[in-house]
Every structure is written in C-alpha cells, then in structure tokens.
C-alpha cells in the first residue's frame, strides 16, 4: 500500500518544467508527510498537462457521501480494471501523482519502524494514479479526488512491506496520460520499479503523526545512510 509520501520540492518551477505543466498553482508549499484526506497536487492531461489539488482518497461519482474516502486511497493493479470504483477511471481518467519519496513501516518490529524510499537518479517522479469527480448533493460543490495504484513490492520495498506504489518510468508518463493507449498497454506499465534504481533508509517515528510535516521527517536516522 501507500499511505504516506512526500513532495518536498521547494521551487514550483522545477515541477512545472519537469512535467511540462501548462498552468501553475496559486501557492506552492513543499510537503514532507502527505496523508489521505488531504488536498495535494495531481497532474492530468487534455490537450496539455495541468496541475491542480485533489483530495487523496477517491470519492466515487456514484456515492452519496464521503464514506469511501479512506478506503480508496490505493487501487490494487490486480483488480483496477474490475472494481466499479476504478474500472471507468482506468479507461478514461488517469493522472500522475508527483512525489519525491514515500514511507512504509516495518511492522515485524515492535514498535513499527518507518522507512523512506526514493529514486537514486530522479529526485522528482510520479505515481500512477486515477481521479474522479464527485458533486456533493447537499452543497452542489464539485470535488476532484484521486487514488494511487499499487503493485507487489520489489526487493527493496519488500524488505519492509509486501506492496508498493506504482512508480512510472519517466518515458512512460506520456503513455499513462494518453487517451489512445489500450488497456493491455497500460497494464504493462504497472510493474514494480527496478531494485537497482531505488534506495531506502530508516527515519524517525515522528513521521507516524500527520501533524509532523517538516524536513526533519525525511532525515535518515543513520548519518551514513546516504553515503
């Protein structure tokens, strides 16, 4: 699964250039401990790529309330084409979820030990995501929400957790957003990221609290971890 990640870019221009974004956000703040139920940057494409903030946790178009919001933070690749919540979105409403790293907890230890995972050679990357639009029947407010697709873990993440978010290769991001890609071609993109392109290290348990959202969260406990 993926229940916490970071998007700790300080200069928004880096993001706009990295993903060739046609617009900009009104304000841009680096985030270190993003959690479900929060509004976060997501990239979609029509004729051009656009970035906007969406609610993490799909609120299906057919639901009458927010009851799905925390159960839908992730969509499993094994069932993403079958479940009613995701099947239509997989065909027509795919998105990129920009990130700089993500967290998983080793629950074989007591208490659980948090780890931070990132890419060795790409400081900004994208998870494969889906998004939906929901209109609150009480207020008529439209809310855009998203989910992150997960797959079986590679060996790096697998030391801590059996699943991991799908990280798209940079050259596959365009394919993921393209409306002309067929389902089997899209599924072929949703694989564990290569082991030799990822790294991890232990971080402080302060990350356990969503209230802690600062650079200290992603610092390694072992000062030699980045050497």
Confidence of residue 224 (pLDDT cuts 50, 70, 90): low
Average pLDDT of the residues in 53-81: 86
- Asked whether residue 227 carries a pLDDT value surpassing 60, the answer given is no
105-124 per-position pLDDT tens digit: 999 888 899 999 999 999 99
Average pLDDT of the residues in 74-81: 96
Concatenating the DSSP letter of every residue in 61-128 gives TT-SSSTTTTTTSEEETTTTTTSHHHHHHHHH-EEEEEESEEEEEETTSSS-EEEEEEESS-SSEEEE
Q: Which residues contact residue 26 at a Cβ distance below 8 angstroms, ignoring those fewer than 6 apart?
A: none
- Asked whether residue 1 carries a pLDDT value surpassing 90, the answer given is no
Confidence of residue 68 (pLDDT cuts 50, 70, 90): low
88-102 per-position pLDDT tens digit: 999 999 999 999 999
138-164 per-position pLDDT tens digit: 888 899 999 999 999 999 999 999 999
- Residues noted as catalytic: 2, 104
Share the mean pLDDT of the chain: 93
Q: Which domains does the chain have, with CATH numbers?
A: 5-216 (3.90.1680.10)
Confidence of residue 47 (pLDDT cuts 50, 70, 90): confident
Average pLDDT of the residues in 71-80: 95
Report the share of the chain in percent with pLDDT over 70: 96
């Amino acid at each position: 699964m993926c229940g916490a990640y970071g998007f700790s870019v300080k200069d928004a221009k880096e993001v706009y250039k990295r993903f060739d974004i046609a617009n900009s956000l009104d304000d841009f703040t680096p985030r270190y401990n993003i959690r479900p139920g929060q509004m976060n940057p997501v990239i979609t494409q029509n004729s051009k790529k656009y970035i906007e903030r969406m609610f993490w946790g799909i609120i299906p178009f057919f639901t009458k309330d927010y009851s799905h919001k925390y159960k839908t933070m992730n969509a499993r690749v094994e069932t993403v084409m079958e479940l009613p919540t995701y099947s239509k979105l997989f065909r027509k409403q795919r998105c990129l979820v920009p990130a700089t790293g993500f967290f998983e907890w080793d629950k074989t230890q007591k208490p659980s030990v948090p780890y931070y995972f990132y890419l060795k050679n790409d400081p900004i990357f994208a998870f494969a995501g889906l998004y939906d639009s929901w209109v609150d029947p009480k207020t008529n407010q439209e809310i855009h929400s998203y989910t992150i697709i997960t797959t079986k873990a590679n060996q790096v993440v697998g030391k801590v957790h059996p699943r991991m978010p799908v990280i798209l290769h940079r050259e596959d991001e365009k394919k993921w957003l393209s409306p002309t890609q067929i389902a089997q071609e899209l599924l072929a993109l949703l694989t564990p990221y290569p082991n030799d392109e990822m790294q991890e290290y232990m971080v402080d348990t302060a990350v356990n609290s969503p209230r802690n959202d600062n650079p200290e969260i992603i610092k390694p406990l072992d000062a030699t971890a980045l050497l």
